[in-house]
Structure 1
Amino acid sequence: MTDKNQAKSRTAATAFAALSALLLATGCGDGNNSVASASSDAAQSQRMSPARQVTTAATASVSGKITYDFVPAVSNKGRQGQWLARLDYASTVQKPARNIVVELLNDKSGKVLLSTTTDDQGNYSFQAPLDTAVHVRAKAQMLRSAGKTSGPSWNFAVRDNSSDGYGTAVDGAALFAMDGASFNSGKKASIHDLNAASGWDAASASYANSRSAAPFAILDTIYSASHKVLEADQNLSFPPLNIFWSPGSDDGTFFGSQNGKSYSKGLHIRGHEDVDTDEYDAGVIAHEWGHYFQATFSRDDSIAGPHSGDNLLDMRLAFSEGWGNAFSSMARSDPMYVDTQGQAQANAAVVFKVDEIPDNVAKAWFGEVAVQSVLYRLHQSPDIGFKPIYQAMAAQKKSPAFTSLFSFATSLRGSINPAGQATLDNLLAEINTANKNQLDMFGLGQFALPPSIVAGNKDFVLPIYATLEEGVKLKPAKDATVCTTGAYGKTNKLGINRYLRFRLAQKGKHTLHISADAGLYPSFQLFSKGDRIAGNLVQDPNSASAYNVDYDLPAQDDYVATINAGDKTGCFKITLAPTNAGEAQ
């Protein structure tokens, strides 16, 4: 997805301080962030735990609560039955900034005196040095180191992709933060709450002030997503993840790198006011975090590219996007996916209910809507739930098959009880996908053609994988002929890529001979458990439509491959044989 508006560039060294001041302008609740002693504010005192108010002879307790303005993305059906959506600024509430880094800084030196993290209610506490000029800084960062023997770890940070350091180093982009007002720690306990405001001005229906809440809103969705995964594995170590956003960001909303720049790898979130902002579109953020999860703890063989709910897709893409949407709802405990856009963020970009399958979309393994519905309803089943889903996703990492609904469901079915298996089978049957004892990771039992495919196009869809057998000694090779089609679109749609698989009983050098229809140049890629194997495709000097590709391969049960001719379509005949054995064929 894609993003807009350009915030001022500034160096990484100065951006942090400048941004802190910027956020302070609207991020401190009553505007002055005044100090209140525990004894002088009964309401605040009641919500504080005794531990937070302890003051020793050498220190004074400094505590408070960090919050941010949360603007809900809401949806409803219009008169014509179409989905409408908007950011509902009138329903803005303050939510706790959970598990974020909070620092106490010396005003004179700028040195960080103490550092901690907020609890699940946004509370923090320090034992500050007495009579010292200090201020509190809340950083848009969740940071936790694993314990000595167990416990999860993470480092999720929201960074400014308009800062000078963006794309120059892994953590080069400036980190968003919010600074509180300066105060003297004194000798008694004091409370210092900070709130990051949305910056929305109702009178002008625009962001008239700093959007200081946005980084914290983004981070709080990531809190929900990561803690959903921790339900299944409490000791998980999450690799560091940068989330890139800025007011006016035009990078797009996606997980990956911008224009191949390795230092920009992370989640990219739109921020262009009146065009498309995603900081409050929690469903969108959780979807992209779901791709981060796939890339880290599972495997994602998706070929990416443009897609929509009514497309018939390459099955790898359909599973990847279906997973992203389903996981988003799992993490948020909400089946609604709402993506807003337009003037005043008052229009719908994409809205759907993840557990529903409308009549106009494909009910099959190659439809992202069907896939997401199955995955989410598996999660909602009392006989399945999230942990088996997590385990099945983790098993994809070393799957011999391409990642798809077939490989996922096969793994899941082997780990759930009979009641769960019955639920899985019924859901797969509902979307015309092999189930029960016909289910396997390669879709070998997929004999039925879904209604969305006309009979004349069956050979472009089934079998899921064409099987090759190598020719050895007196045993002839079993070749395969596969044909591609543009009937369902180009690039990443169903039928443009065809899948093959083969086994090798003996290691050694092998050659794949490819005979293509006239005018087709084959693109052939071979994989072993998700890893692409390098091979050099060369044209046969004796034939303009014949090609050979050589590999040095270990013995292995399953190799898988894809073949296509870009957006051109036609047929290929593929033969596998030990290298230099062509004369015996």
Structure 2
Amino acid sequence: MKRFLWLLILLALASCGERDSGSCGAGGVPPVPHHAVIGPAPGGTADPDGGLPAALTISGKVTYERLPVTPGGLDLLNPVVENASDVLVEAVAHSDINNVLGTATTDANGDYTLNFSTTVDYFVRARARSGAGLDMDAVYHSQTSPPIVHALPGEVLNRASGSQTVNLHGAADAANRAGAFAVLDTVQRLRAASTLTGLGPLDLFWGMGNAGTRFLANGSGQSITLATETGLDGPNGNPSIYLLGGDAADVQNSDHDEFDETVIAHEWASFLQLTQSRDNNFGGPHFGEELIFSASYSEGMVTAIGCALAGQSVYRDTLGYTGGVTSVQFEFDCESGLVPGSGTGYGNEFRVTRVVWDLFDGGTGSPPDTDADPSNIGMADFLASFADLRARAAPFEVAWLASLLQELIDDARLSISDANTIMATHGASFPPAGGDGFPPVLTVGGAADMGNLDAWSGTDPNPILGPQANGLWRMELAGAQTVSIDVTNTTPGYNPARHRLDLTVHDLERNVVAQHIGDAANKSVSVSLMPGTYLVRVQHAPATQADSQPASFMVQAQ
């Protein structure tokens, strides 16, 4: 998910869904060699190999620089030195970057001790990896092939010098060895702050000048164009977060996220939502426009959770880096102040953020409450209900803000009255008008439903995730059956550039179970389905904004 400018002022949070990915860089740029990432730092000369083994004890401290985020951007002049805690430290043969002679892990102060025996000279490096098993986080270089975990290396050392102290320090300079360790520290703290456990491993991909590069591929082999976002099917088969490290054409003055803790927190909360809760967002860029309810919920919810776990109420996304000019390109206060974007109530992601924040602020383990809203759910209880959504059945089984409110009510953590009071401040009500009406039910064997879409119509439209671009229905199947879904385009003078409609069927786990896309006027799918709820999406897909014209249709399930 990454943010884009809206009306030259608003920069909204982008989609957290998976995107395309690949194996070579944009413009044929070769990948960064592994040696440049995990090989020794310049300096030091190796003696000839061989002789009696030298038993060595190497101790030291691993530190890195963090550039603080301020209301004016990154504080480039006052980096803060922080300890790299719980990171892997390796002693490595000088002539073979893959020959690890010994390992250790830093403590909370960044201190480590290595014990190993060697007949060759060596160097020491720290890796941007922490934890183990289901709690492992690792920051990979996004422009290596295959991707490898970032490192902070020292120079070559002579075994003849015996045991010694080796301190490693990552600076926020042109090479930016600090960046990966700042990212790792942020996700370590988020994992520790969450009361949900057994979250599973998380891979992160970042590198300097990585915007738009295509060195990575997801588990299905699809090329990933690097932007800040989160997905389940990462290059290593794990849930993965991709973070911007600037544009190679202007690294010093472009978008970096390695020090933007709330940007990382938003993405980390997306990881939490994808793995522990339910997310029915289709994904796609957005600029603050009104969105379909599942998309606004998905994006707004994770901003609130991420900022709360990070201990910050203001989301800030900065531009610039050391040697350039820095600024804040977007900020939003979760607790108070202006709510940007279009739409009210359930369709505005920032109003969703404000509602979610007001549900838990003031509760045990939650941020403080400064505006006296009626709810103060403890963070542990809130996250428990959030996780319960993963298995939620009707009503409100499709994930949107009303689903969360109903789950909290069902779990006796929120009253209907308080839910309605909070929603009323954002131009909506709870229960919502029409009850569990998002999306409407498409009954198998029932009459056809009519629709009319125009992706670019209205004020400030979102042509991918806006309600004017999508016809959505849910099918609720009590038993296994084969279902045929037909979309008949009834637009006079059909022209695919203007009136194209695409048909996709999703399950509640975000999987595409059937799809018919392309220039044909009518779309049909036939698919055998297990009992459960499915989302039927008819999307208006004109070739360009200029081509877009209203498209009318009928949809029927049999």
- Tell whether the structures are fold-level matches, with TM greater than 0.5: yes
Structure 2 letter corresponding to 1:331: L
1:241 paired with 2:206, answer no
Where 2:265 maps in the other structure, the secondary structure is: helix
Give unpaired runs (5+ residues) of structure 1: 26-57, 76-84, 146-152, 166-171, 200-206, 447-462, 472-476, 578-585
**1:245-265 deviation line (CA, Å, top 9, x unaligned):** 1246444432358x9988896
The amino acid that maps onto 2:349 is E
In 2, are the aligned partners of 1:63 and 1:123 still within 8 Å (CA)?
yes
Residue 445 (1) aligns with residue 441 (2): no
Q: Is the 8 A contact 1:497 1:563 kept in 2?
A: yes
- Listed one character per residue, the Cα deviations across residues 494-529 of structure 1 (whole Å, up to 9, x for unaligned) are 332122134345543333344433234432323332
Tell me what 1:451 maps to: none
Which of 323, 342, 349 is residue 301 of structure 2 equivalent to? 323
1:130 and 1:187 in contact (8 A); partners too: no
Paired position in structure 2 for 1:89 = 76
Instruction: Name the SS of the counterpart of 2:291 in structure 1.
Output: coil
SS of residue in 1 equivalent to 2:41: helix
The equivalent of 2:259 in structure 1 is 280
Q: CA deviation at 1:405?
A: 1.3
Deviations 1:143-188 (A, max 9, x none): 413xxxxxxx33332233333x1xxxxxx12432122353669787
Check 1:99–1:427 CA distance in 2 against 1; reply closer, same or farther (3 A cut): farther
CA distance in structure 2 between the partners assigned to 1:109 and 1:501 by the alignment: 57
1:360 and 1:16 map into 2 onto residues whose CA distance is: 41
Partner of 2:407: 411
Aligned partner (choices 450, 464, 479) of residue 491 of structure 1: 464
Choose from 21, 30, 33 the match for 2:41: 21
Matched residues in 1 for 2:82 and 2:190: separation? 16
Compared CA separation, residues 380 and 219, structure 1 to 2 (3 A): same
RMSD of equivalent CA atoms: 3.9
Alpha-carbon deviation of 1:67? Answer: 1.1
User: What is the Cα deviation at residue 69 of structure 1?
Assistant: 0.7
Kept in 2: contact 1:364–1:433 (CA 8 A):
yes
- Residue 335 of structure 1 contacts residue 353 of structure 1 at CA under 8 Å; is this kept in 2? yes
User: Which residue in the other structure is 2:527 paired with?
Assistant: 551
Q: 1:388 to 1:517 in 2, by over 3 A?
A: farther
- Please give the alpha-carbon distance, in whole angstroms, between the structure 1 residues aligned to 2:59 and 2:419: 50
Match of 2:329 among 339, 342, 349: 349
- Deviation at 1:546? 6.3
- Name the amino acid aligned to 1:405: L
Letter paired with 2:450? T
* Amino acid corresponding to residue 501 of structure 1 in structure 2: R
Inter-CA distance 532–141: structure 2 relative to 1 (3 Å threshold): closer
Is residue 2:543 matched to residue 1:565? no
Check the 8 A contact 1:467/1:502 in 2, yes or no: yes
Aligned position for 1:138: 126
> For residue 471 of structure 2, what is the amino acid of its counterpart?
R
For the structure 1 residues 244 and 466, does the alpha-carbon distance in structure 2 shift closer, same or farther, using more than 3 Å as the test? same
Check the 8 A contact 2:88/2:104 in 1, yes or no.
Answer: yes
Distance 1:90 1:7 in 2: 36
The amino acid of 1:286's aligned partner reads: A
Question: Which whole-Å CA distance do the structure 2 matches of 1:260 and 1:217 have between them?
Answer: 21
- Structure 1 residue identity aligned to 2:476: R
Would you say how many aligned residue pairs link Structure 1 and Structure 2? Answer: 474
- Residue of structure 1 in register with 2:449 after alignment: 480
Does structure 2 conserve the Cα–Cα contact (< 8 Å) formed by 1:8 and 1:162? Answer: no
- Return the match for 1:503 from 470, 476, 481: 476
The answer to whether the Cα contact below 8 Å between 1:363 and 1:430 also exists between their aligned partners in 2 is no
Q: CA deviation at 1:536?
A: 6.6
**1:444-470, CA deviations, whole angstroms, 9 ceiling, x for partnerless residues?**
427xxxxxxxxxxxxxxxx53233334
Distance 2:36 2:334 in 1: 40
Deviation for aligned residue 1:360:
5.3
Task: Please name the residue that 2:138 is paired with.
Answer: 157
Alpha-carbon separation, structure 1, partners of 2:191 and 2:434: 35
Q: Cα gap change, 1:500/1:365 in structure 2, threshold over 3 Å: closer, same or farther? A: same
Q: Distance in 1 between matches of 2:319 and 2:501?
A: 41
| Higher mean C-alpha displacement, 567-576 vs 359-368 | 567-576
Q: Give the 3-state SS of the residue equivalent to 2:345 in structure 1.
A: coil
Partner-residue secondary structure (3-state), 1:337 = strand
Q: Which amino acid aligns with 2:424?
A: A
The counterpart of 1:296, out of the listed 272, 275, 281, is: 275
Deviation at residue 266 of structure 1 after TM alignment: 4.2
Post-superposition offset of 1:561: 1.8
Change (3 A) 1:5 1:385: farther
| Aligned residue number for residue 59 of structure 2 | 63
The whole-number CA distance in structure 2 between the counterparts of 1:564 and 1:113 is 56
2:86 to 84, 99, 106: 99
Quote the offset at 1:325 in angstroms.
Answer: 1.9
User: Does structure 1 conserve the Cα–Cα contact (< 8 Å) formed by 2:199 and 2:275?
Assistant: no
TM-score (norm 2): 0.73
Partner Cα separation in structure 2 for residue 409 and residue 64 of structure 1: 50
Task: Give the CA deviation at 1:288.
Answer: 2.1
- Distance in 2, matches of 1:538 and 1:93, equals 52
CA distance in 2: counterparts of 1:156 and 1:128, whole angstroms? 26
Could you say which residue in structure 1 is the equivalent of 2:11? Answer: none
**Separation in 1, partners of 2:115, 2:69:** 39
SS at match of 1:277: coil
User: Residues 355, 185 of structure 1: CA spacing in aligned structure 2 closer, same or farther, 3 A cutoff?
Assistant: farther
Looking at structure 2, the residues matched to 214 and 294 of structure 1 have their Cα atoms a distance apart, in angstroms, of 25
* Correspondent of 2:358 among 362, 365, 377: 377
1:96 shift after superposition: 1.3
Q: What are the equivalent positions in structure 2 for 1:238-277 lying under 5 Å apart?
A: 238-247=200-209, 249-251=211-213, 252-256=226-230, 266-271=241-246, 272-277=251-256
Paired amino acid for 1:102? V
The answer to whether the Cα contact below 8 Å between 2:507 and 2:513 also exists between their aligned partners in 1 is: no
Counterparts of 1:107 and 1:176, CA distance in 2? 18
Judging changes above 3 Å, is the alpha-carbon distance between structure 1 residues 139 and 423 closer, same or farther for their aligned structure 2 residues?
farther
Q: Could you tell me how far apart the structure 2 residues matched to 1:538 and 1:494 are?
A: 19
1:342 Cα deviation from its structure 2 partner? 4.5
SS at match of 2:286: coil
| Ranges in structure 2 where 5+ consecutive residues have no aligned partner | 5-24, 45-53, 214-225, 364-375, 543-548
Deviations 1:50-99 (A, max 9, x none): xxxxxxxx977543321111111110xxxxxxxxx221122211011122
Residues 7 and 246, structure 1, Cα contact 8 Å, conserved in 2? no
What's the counterpart of residue 575 of structure 1? 556
Output the CA distance in 1 between the equivalents of 2:440 and 2:237. 39
Partner residue, 2:384:
391
How many angstroms apart in 2 are the aligned matches of 1:161 and 1:121?
28
CA contact (8 A) 1:107 1:135 kept: yes
Amino acid paired to 2:483: H
